[in-house]
Amino acid sequence: MTHLTLQAVTKRFNAAYAVDSVDLSVPDGKLVCFLGPSGCGKTTLLRMIAGLETPSSGNINFAGRDITHLPANQRDFGMVFQSLALFPHMTVAQNVAYPLKLRKTAKEAQARRVTELLELIQLPHMANRPVTQLSGGQRQRVAIARAIASQPKLLLLDEPLSALDAKLREAMQVEIRLLQQRLGITTIMVTHDQREAMTMADEIVVMEKGRIAQVGKPLDIYRDPVSEFVADFIGLGNILPVTYDGAGGVSLPGGRRIAVAQPARVPESNSDIRLLIRPEDVCVKSTSADAGQNRLAGTVTFIRDVGASLEATIDCAGFTLTAATTPRETPGLTLGMPVFAELPPHACKLIAARAAH
């Protein structure tokens, strides 16, 4: 069931388009991430869904009702901002109870709900502690508990983890995802962090300059991006300019032919094609006899060894490739070593080049 639909939603600030003709359906009970670089329109889009901004044109429908011009306080949505916006003069329990107090919920019911939520976020022992005495991760959990206290039909998260350090951020990603799945609450989250989106989302909406570049499941977007922009934004990728030969292959810079398994998506102009191969799909071999189809001779110019994994940069005369491997797969790899990089045809994707600005 579709919970939320946006039809041709546009937001202009004077002559500039922050969001430009966005059509989107958000399914019930799923976590959807709006992902993109700064200034792509993702927060403006979230604010229009929340009712904090009014669209210049287009419609927003929720559960079969047009809410385009409905005030934010009548939408029954929960929201967590980047700043968290907790009340510093209140305790943890008072912060969580605040939306229930606004709705004039009976005091006994308020107390029951606060107890239930503090158990859910694993902070029952912190009920009477001032929020100023909490750690970043604990404040984060309190902000989420407050947002879901009144059992909203939609939860909106605007870069809620950006202020946390890397380790805590990763732990909170898992925690929020598990909480969302347990509650079954439809959630939209804004982030510019592709790892965060890949970790948490059922569906990712990649945004570019106020428009939607691609919508899909995280792995589908990673494995089959529609354009150079999406490929470059989601994960690491070797993106090379190529010319299609019309016979199931492409020519690399320098003229070397590469076979590709799925040449179907070829832009009309040969100059608009890029070849994408992810680093983990590049096979590094020490001799040409070990390498199969699409093998390229090169030299190792850089190695990033972090123990369990290893990233090698290979100069192939005219372009470089990044290969992700492990010490076990490629023992004895050293700087300056001549190697062969194999590009399996099934892993070579043809994508549209980024539009010239």
Please report, in tens digits, the pLDDT of each residue of the chain (357 residues total): 558 999 999 999 998 999 999 999 999 999 999 999 999 999 999 999 999 999 999 999 998 899 999 998 889 898 888 777 888 889 999 999 998 888 888 889 989 999 988 888 888 898 999 988 988 888 888 888 898 888 888 999 998 887 777 887 888 888 889 889 988 999 999 999 999 999 999 999 999 999 999 999 999 999 999 889 999 899 889 999 888 877 767 888 877 888 887 765 655 555 578 899 999 999 998 876 665 678 899 999 999 988 888 999 999 988 899 999 988 888 888 999 999 999 998 899 888 887 654
pLDDT at residue number 285: 87
How high is the pLDDT of residue 95? Answer: 92
Look at the block and give the residue holding tokens 């229930």. 100
Q: Report the pLDDT value the prediction gives residue 271, as an integer from 0 to 100.
A: 58
Strand 31-35 with 186-191, pairing: parallel
Q: At what angle do helices 136-148 and 92-102 cross, to 10 degrees?
A: 20
185 neighbors 155 (Cβ within 8 angstroms): yes
| CB-based burial, 54-89: b 16+ in 10 Å, e otherwise | ebeebebbbeeeebbeeeeeebebbbbeeebebeee
The secondary structure element, H or E, covering residue 6 is strand 2-13
Main-chain phi, psi angles of 47, to 5 degrees: -65, -30
Length of the chain, in residues: 357
Are 118 and 145 a contacting pair, CB within 8 Å? yes
pLDDT of 183 reads 86
- Half-sphere exposure for 168 (CA within 13 Å, toward CB): 13
Using the structure block, give the residue that is written with the tokens 């123990």.
307
- The structure tokens listed for 247 are 């016979």
Domains (range + CATH), the chain: 2-223 (3.40.50.300), 236-352 (2.40.50.100)
Residue 84 confidence (pLDDT):
72
